[in-house]
Structure 1
Amino acid sequence: MSIINVSNLTFAYDGSYDNIFENVSFQLDSDWKLGFTGRNGRGKTTFLNLLLGKYEYSGTISSNVHFEYFPFHVKHKDSMTLDVISDVHPDYQHWELVRELNLLQVSEDVLYRPFDSLSNGEQTKVMLAALFMKENQFLLIDEPTNHLDLHARKLVSDYLSRKSGFILVSHDRSFLDNSVDHILSINKTNIEIQKGNFSAWWENKKRQDEYELASNEKLKKDIKRLSDSAKRTGGWSHEVEKSKNGTRNSGSKVDKGYIGHKAAKMMKRSKNIEQRQLSAIQEKSKLLKNIESAERLQIHQLDFHKNEIIQLENVSIAYGSNTVCKDISFTVEKGDRIALYGKNGSGKSSILKLICGEDISYTGHLRKDPQVRFSYVSQDTSGLAGSLSEYASIAGIDESLFKSILRKLDFSRLQLDKDISTYSAGQKKKVLIAKSLSEEAHLHVWDEPLNFVDVISRMQIEDLLLEHSPTLLFVEHDSEFCANIATKIIEL
Structure 2
Amino acid sequence: MGTIQFKQLTFNYPDQATPLFKDVTLQFDASWRLGLIGRNGRGKTTLLKLLQRQLEFDGQLKTDLDFHYFPQTVADPSQLARDVLMTLGQLDDSTFWQIERELNLLKVDLDCLWQPFNTLSPGEQTKALLALLFIDEHHFQLIDEPTNHLDQDGRDTVAHYLQQKTGFIVISHDRHFLNQVIDHVLSINRADITVQQGDYQTWQTTQEQQTQSEQHQNSLLKSEIKRLNQTAQQKSQWSQQAERGKNAGSVKNESANLDKGFIGHRAAKVMKRATTITARSEQAATEKQGLLKNVEITAPLTINNQSLKPQQIVLTATDLVLEQDGRALNQPLSFELKAGQQVALTGANGTGKSTFIKALLALPEMQHQVSGQLTIAPRIKVS
Length-normalised TM-score, structure 2: 0.78
Is 2:134 the partner of 1:129?
A: yes
Conservation of the 8 A alpha-carbon contact between 2:7 and 2:26: yes
Structure 1 equivalent of residue 50 of structure 2: 50
Match of 1:343 among 348, 352, 355: 348
Cα offset, 1:307, TM superposition: 4.6
Report the 3-state secondary structure (helix = DSSP H, G, I; strand = E; otherwise coil) of the residue aligned with 1:60. Answer: strand
Structure 2 equivalent of residue 444 of structure 1: none
Distance in 2 of aligned mates of 1:144 and 1:99: 19
Structure 1, unmatched stretches of 5+, are 376-435, 437-492
Question: Highest CA radius of gyration, 1 or 2?
Answer: 2
Distance in 2 of aligned mates of 1:107 and 1:308: 37
Conservation of the 8 A alpha-carbon contact between 1:85 and 1:130: no
Is 2:380 the partner of 1:373?
A: yes
Cα offset, 1:22, TM superposition: 1.6
Match of 2:299 among 295, 304, 308: 295
Q: Map 1:400-419 to 2 at 5 A.
A: none
Q: Compare 150-159 and 201-210 and name the one that shifted more.
A: 201-210
Conservation of the 8 A alpha-carbon contact between 2:32 and 2:183: yes
The total of aligned residue pairs comes to 367
Q: Which amino acid aligns with 2:296?
A: E
Structure 1 equivalent of residue 367 of structure 2: 359
Q: Which amino acid aligns with 2:371?
A: T
Q: Which amino acid aligns with 1:159?
A: Y
Over 3 Å counting, the alpha-carbon distance change for 1:332 and 1:242 in structure 2 is closer
Cα shift readout 1:364-420 (whole Å, capped 9, x = no counterpart): 4x3646536241xxxxxxxxxxxxxxxxxxxxxxxxxxxxxxxxxxxxxxxxxxxxx
Cα offset, 1:80, TM superposition: 4.7
Cα offset, 1:346, TM superposition: 0.9
Cα offset, 1:47, TM superposition: 1.5
Cα offset, 1:138, TM superposition: 2.5
Over 3 Å counting, the alpha-carbon distance change for 1:328 and 1:228 in structure 2 is same
Distance in 2 of aligned mates of 1:324 and 1:109: 14
Q: Which amino acid aligns with 1:220?
A: K
Over 3 Å counting, the alpha-carbon distance change for 1:287 and 1:83 in structure 2 is same
Conservation of the 8 A alpha-carbon contact between 2:9 and 2:25: yes
Distance in 2 of aligned mates of 1:98 and 1:161: 20
Is 2:207 the partner of 1:205?
A: yes
Q: Which amino acid aligns with 2:186?
A: L
Conservation of the 8 A alpha-carbon contact between 2:243 and 2:263: no
Cα offset, 1:34, TM superposition: 1.8
Distance in 1 of aligned mates of 2:107 and 2:318: 36
Cα offset, 1:187, TM superposition: 2.4
Distance in 1 of aligned mates of 2:239 and 2:60: 56
Over 3 Å counting, the alpha-carbon distance change for 1:99 and 1:27 in structure 2 is farther
Structure 2 equivalent of residue 105 of structure 1: 105
Structure 2 equivalent of residue 406 of structure 1: none
Is 2:111 the partner of 1:87?
A: no
Taking only the aligned residue pairs, the percentage that are identical comes to: 33
Q: Map 1:91-490 to 2 at 5 A.
A: 97=98, 101=102, 105-106=105-106, 113=113, 119-131=124-136, 133-134=137-138, 137-236=139-238, 249=254, 254=259, 266=270, 269-270=273-274, 273-301=277-305, 302-304=307-309, 307-355=312-360, 356-357=363-364, 358-364=366-372, 366=373, 368=375, 371=378, 373-375=380-382, 436=383
Report the 3-state secondary structure (helix = DSSP H, G, I; strand = E; otherwise coil) of the residue aligned with 1:312. Answer: strand
Distance in 1 of aligned mates of 2:255 and 2:85: 109
Distance in 2 of aligned mates of 1:347 and 1:93: 32
Q: Compare 66-75 and 159-168 and name the one that shifted more.
A: 66-75
Distance in 2 of aligned mates of 1:109 and 1:306: 41
Distance in 1 of aligned mates of 2:90 and 2:69: 14
Over 3 Å counting, the alpha-carbon distance change for 1:360 and 1:270 in structure 2 is same
Cα offset, 1:155, TM superposition: 1.5
Report the 3-state secondary structure (helix = DSSP H, G, I; strand = E; otherwise coil) of the residue aligned with 1:359. Answer: helix
Report the 3-state secondary structure (helix = DSSP H, G, I; strand = E; otherwise coil) of the residue aligned with 1:310. Answer: strand
Q: Compare 19-28 and 65-74 and name the one that shifted more.
A: 65-74
Cα offset, 1:11, TM superposition: 1.2
Distance in 1 of aligned mates of 2:340 and 2:39: 30
Cα offset, 1:226, TM superposition: 0.7
Over 3 Å counting, the alpha-carbon distance change for 1:2 and 1:334 in structure 2 is same
Cα offset, 1:229, TM superposition: 1.1
Cα offset, 1:279, TM superposition: 3.6
Over 3 Å counting, the alpha-carbon distance change for 1:274 and 1:350 in structure 2 is closer
Over 3 Å counting, the alpha-carbon distance change for 1:269 and 1:168 in structure 2 is same
Q: Which amino acid aligns with 2:37?
A: T
Conservation of the 8 A alpha-carbon contact between 2:232 and 2:274: yes
Q: Which amino acid aligns with 2:308?
A: D
Is 2:70 the partner of 1:63?
A: no
